[in-house]
Structure 1
């Protein structure tokens, strides 16, 4: 059979097809309003003139412009001073935040990043190294928090807010006062309160269970509750699975925990000083205890997007949100501890609030086991035998959402 045009014709058809695909791709990108993927940028070396725009991704309550409450606004003064117009997309969940920051077609300048996401964004090169010399007030921030955001000699974030996980309980119902995480993790003790426990809805709760097991089961040889081998992770998952029948709810929004405790649906569980402060001022029966095993903590930090389009405005924002006055507003609005201890000076914040959070108490903060994104690399001298965040997420889902028999 005679060939129609031979190899040269096929090449021309292939070339024409490739050109058509390229044209269609451009049309589709334009139609959808998307940008082509942008290569990551490096560390900013100097702050230039304001670019006039700042695009942020934030967790709820962390970027307020007065729309939620006219009295709560740290965006408008920033815009007036810097001429950087702020646009923010609120991430309802941590996974939403990760999806936004890992989208190669988006150019967010920065985000508030919790420990569940920080390691993943750093390892995936979705955030850029931070130049702390360009962040005014950086050295005023809590040193322990700053150290959590370093990889060797590279800084990847600026501390913004933090907190600790305590035993929160109703002293009228829970007697005697709890002194150990066994009150919520030992089924025999947790079962005393008839499915009235509350627990944080995050895979990092496995770290609290591991902290409990560290002293409860020495044979597991747990050192770091956030660097667990598969066997250690499985043991922590079993603790939560046995606890599950006694849990009233798993909370993400702190307000949900307040509601459960205020209405009596819950009488014991994981909580923050925020819950004790709010409920105490409302006249509710509530108290907090520091378990003998210790407490875990968390921090949310501002990170610079790897594809930041407005780095000068972003660094102005880092400086602004590190200032004591803004830190005061954030702490009051969201109920978190400020990363800048100066927010508790000169009567900016109530003394009771600052004392409850141990702001500036470096002896206390030094003992907190701060969460980080679990990784297969176990850390210093630990090798690579640990479970990564995906395994933690799977273990968490299995523990709190058991398959019906």
Structure 2
């Protein structure tokens, strides 16, 4: 492992503008599979065998996922020249993949389901990806955001939770609930940080699942009109208390500059504050989170290079390099045993702690079909959430 990668998460986090991933529907639990749910998707064929590598590979990726430190070796080994396009948001990734100019994307859950349902990506033959094996952490296999109707559409890269960060010099008692950011009597009103994205509606839904059970929410990404209305009202209530709606580029300065003292964050961003007074906790209600996966374009011009890349980056050392560079738990748990440095990284990001991630609802795209299995109502989709978010922000 290149020790220079240790410093990279801070720089990478400051450069990102992400809207990251996932969800599940395993009887209402956070970290689970599709629960037998069938979703209508286009019938796209899967590759049965590999052929000769093409000359180049065009990838849409988050900043920090495709770097010369590992891409150059891949090119030397395979002859596939890697061309990287950095995307700032999941919406941008979806738009780029729909142009037909890219082979692979490092999709997050709020992008991946859209790509699958619209037929933009193809199911993957995992037998052609040897490193997609026993060492991939169980909680990143078979998730609804990249595995549908028995078909795998995404090869896991890494994951993280959206934790509650707080300034312990101001928030002197460790909070155990998200109530400090949602309830209008919060003593920290005016100093609360919130994530700037429609997918943040799911955070409100998780809080309502616990505190307003009569709403009947069992999956924060499966909201009917009334449930979405309730979440939107809670967000509007919070809006009056928010100091800043953050992107990864502004989260750190919001806390270190004193503009915010409590709010949603990522472990890598909390770590980037480089001050022991900033602490974090996963509250009792659970949390949203994100998980990224490589996905192959339906009309890829370089599918053999793409399969080679997915296998190469799933190996423990390369997957770990990506995870350390970005700041997340790696998908390949074997990385955690490679060195003391790797173990420390995995411990910090709870990489192999499935009990921890059972409390996390990974971001995924809300669609008309209810992801909680209901068939008697139509659920709200991502456009509905985008419209609702506009009313929250004013």
Normalized against structure 1, the TM-score is what? 0.82
Q: Deviations over 1:303-362 (max 9, x none)?
A: 001110011100000011111111221122111111111221122644443223211112
Indicate the residue corresponding to 1:80 in structure 2: 76
Instruction: Give the distance between the partners of 2:369 and 2:43, measured in 1 at CA.
Output: 24
Instruction: Give the distance between the partners of 2:58 and 2:269, measured in 1 at CA.
Output: 32
2:169 counterpart of 1:178: no
2:387 counterpart of 1:397: no
Q: RCO greater where, 1 or 2, for CA within 8 Å and sep 6 or more?
A: 2
Q: Deviations over 1:214-270 (max 9, x none)?
A: 1111221111111111110111111111111222222222x4212221222221110
Indicate the residue corresponding to 2:152 in structure 1: 155
Two-structure CA RMSD over aligned residues (Å): 1.8
2:323 paired residue among 331, 336, 340? 331
Q: Deviations over 1:98-123 (max 9, x none)?
A: 111112xx231110111111111111
Going from structure 1 to structure 2, the CA distance change for 1:107 and 1:275 (only over 3 Å counts) comes to: closer
Instruction: Give the distance between the partners of 1:136 and 1:343, measured in 2 at CA.
Output: 16
Indicate the residue corresponding to 1:123 in structure 2: 117
Instruction: Give the distance between the partners of 1:313 and 1:244, measured in 2 at CA.
Output: 47
Indicate the residue corresponding to 1:291 in structure 2: 283
Q: Does the aligned pair in 2 maintain the 1:328–1:349 contact within 8 Å?
A: no
Indicate the residue corresponding to 1:385 in structure 2: 378
2:200 counterpart of 1:205: yes
Indicate the residue corresponding to 1:360 in structure 2: 352
Indicate the residue corresponding to 1:169 in structure 2: 166
The structure having more radius of gyration, on CA atoms, is 1
Instruction: Give the distance between the partners of 2:372 and 2:193, measured in 1 at CA.
Output: 34
2:245 paired residue among 244, 250, 260? 250
- 4+ runs deviating over 4 angstroms: none
Q: Does the aligned pair in 1 maintain the 2:335–2:342 contact within 8 Å?
A: no
Cα offset, 1:194, TM superposition: 4.8
Instruction: Give the distance between the partners of 1:265 and 1:284, measured in 2 at CA.
Output: 17
Cα offset, 1:41, TM superposition: 6.5
Going from structure 1 to structure 2, the CA distance change for 1:185 and 1:194 (only over 3 Å counts) comes to: closer
Q: Deviations over 1:122-163 (max 9, x none)?
A: 111001111111112112212221211211211111111111
Q: Secondary structure at the match of 1:271?
A: strand
Q: Secondary structure at the match of 2:83?
A: strand
Cα offset, 1:84, TM superposition: 0.3
Q: Deviations over 1:168-194 (max 9, x none)?
A: 1011101322111111111211xx235
Instruction: Give the distance between the partners of 2:123 and 2:342, measured in 1 at CA.
Output: 35
Going from structure 1 to structure 2, the CA distance change for 1:162 and 1:92 (only over 3 Å counts) comes to: same
2:236 counterpart of 1:241: yes
Cα offset, 1:207, TM superposition: 0.8
Indicate the residue corresponding to 1:109 in structure 2: 103
1:230 paired residue among 186, 207, 225? 225
Q: Does the aligned pair in 1 maintain the 2:244–2:259 contact within 8 Å?
A: no
Q: Secondary structure at the match of 2:263?
A: strand
Which structure has the highest helix share of the two? 1
Instruction: Give the distance between the partners of 2:81 and 2:44, measured in 1 at CA.
Output: 22
Cα offset, 1:40, TM superposition: 9.8
Task: Say how many residue pairs are matched.
Answer: 349
Indicate the residue corresponding to 2:311 in structure 1: 319
Q: Does the aligned pair in 2 maintain the 1:196–1:266 contact within 8 Å?
A: yes
Instruction: Give the distance between the partners of 1:343 and 1:74, measured in 2 at CA.
Output: 15
Indicate the residue corresponding to 2:13 in structure 1: none
Q: Secondary structure at the match of 2:158?
A: strand
Q: Does the aligned pair in 2 maintain the 1:58–1:90 contact within 8 Å?
A: yes
Q: Secondary structure at the match of 1:193?
A: coil
